[in-house]
Amino acid sequence: MSVSALIFDVDGTLADTEETHRQAFNYAFLRFGLDWEWSKARYRELLAVSGGKERIAHFIDTLPLAEGDRVRLRGIVPAIHRAKTELYTELIGDGRCPLRPGVARLLGEARDAGVRLAIASTTTSANVHALLARQMGGSARWFDTIACGDLVASKKPAPDIYRAALAAMGLSSAQAVAFEDSVNGVRAAKAAGLFTVVTPSQWSNGEAFDADLALDHLGDADHPLRPEQARLVGAPWLGLAELRALHAAASGRVVAFGRSAA
């Protein structure tokens, strides 16, 4: 099956947004009079839990609290998370999180080649739209499917969000490629049967990934891949042609670069 769609994770993949999420969480805690401060080291640990509401609830469960206090705090998690989302979307609006190297280039190549674009993210819908509006403007409409947040009950590493994106596009997993930045995200995409490219972020670098292709980033003329990765890809950056060849090779068909073998 050839590649009919590219499915992108958001946080850490389209843009390096987790530092802004971390700040928004901490501002929200302040707004609620909570003496919680998630340091970068602590946040990196907490990122093992997908979903902001789930992450806050998990954090509460790690605190030495009387049961009554734990229940009360768990009861205000949705309100804290709404405040956090409001703060995050405001922060993201100042342009602090540009698209990562090669993302705009590959999105444009896919668009020009008629390859569909989708999003499969754990983050809240408002966060996705705020980032796309600020960094892509009207081109945000290139994504014909945006599967995110609470659309599915089981968040990454469960495959549900990727399955929802594929179902919405009417595609099988063999027809799409996933782009991720985290262990949870790669696990979700692989469990959904997708060829997966991982471009680790500052929050996930050094982790062990079971991805089909691992690159520092997607690369472009201003940010070429380092030589060993360019050799792996067969070009200075991951273009649609190179991605199609790698996807075909992984699906067992031999591709003489640029055309299917007879």
The span from the CA of 23 to the CA of 178, in Å, is: 28
What's the chain's Rg over C-alpha atoms? 19
* Residue among 9, 16, 160, 220 that touches ligand XBP (CB under 6 A): 9
Q: Is 9 a known active-site residue?
A: yes
The span from the CA of 171 to the CA of 139, in Å, is: 22
Q: Is 11 a known active-site residue?
A: yes
Residue 2 CB, nearest distance to Mg ion (Å)?
A: 26
Q: What are the tokens at 160?
A: 């549900």
106 touches 238 (CB < 8 A):
yes
Other C-beta atoms lying within 10 Å of the C-beta of residue 26: 18
The span from the CA of 99 to the CA of 95, in Å, is: 10
CB-nearer residue toward ligand XBP: 179 or 195: 179
* Residue among 3, 52, 132, 160 that touches ligand XBP (CB under 6 A): 52
Is residue 12 close enough to count as binding Mg ion by CB under 5 A? yes
Binders in 89-128 for ligand XBP, by CB under 6 A: 121-124, 127
- Of 139-147, 159-167, 180-188, 205-213, the window that binds Mg ion (rule: CB under 5 A) is 180-188
**201: partner contacted, choices Mg ion, ligand XBP, none (Cβ within 5-8 A by kind):** none
At 46, give phi and psi (nearest 5°).
-70, -20
Is residue 160 close enough to count as binding Mg ion by CB under 5 A? no
Query: How many residues of this chain interact with Mg ion, rule: CB under 5 A?
Result: 6
CB-nearer residue toward Mg ion: 176 or 248: 176
* Residue among 5, 6, 7, 9 that touches Mg ion (CB under 5 A): 9
The span from the CA of 141 to the CA of 145, in Å, is: 9
The span from the CA of 51 to the CA of 261, in Å, is: 43
222 touches 92 (CB < 8 A):
no
The span from the CA of 89 to the CA of 180, in Å, is: 21
- Of 46-54, 60-68, 93-101, 190-198, the window that binds ligand XBP (rule: CB under 6 A) is 46-54
Judged by the rule CB under 6 A, the positions of this chain that interact with ligand XBP are: 9-12, 18, 21, 50-52, 85, 121-124, 127, 156, 182, 185
Judged by the rule CB under 5 A, the positions of this chain that interact with Mg ion are: 9, 11-12, 181-182, 185
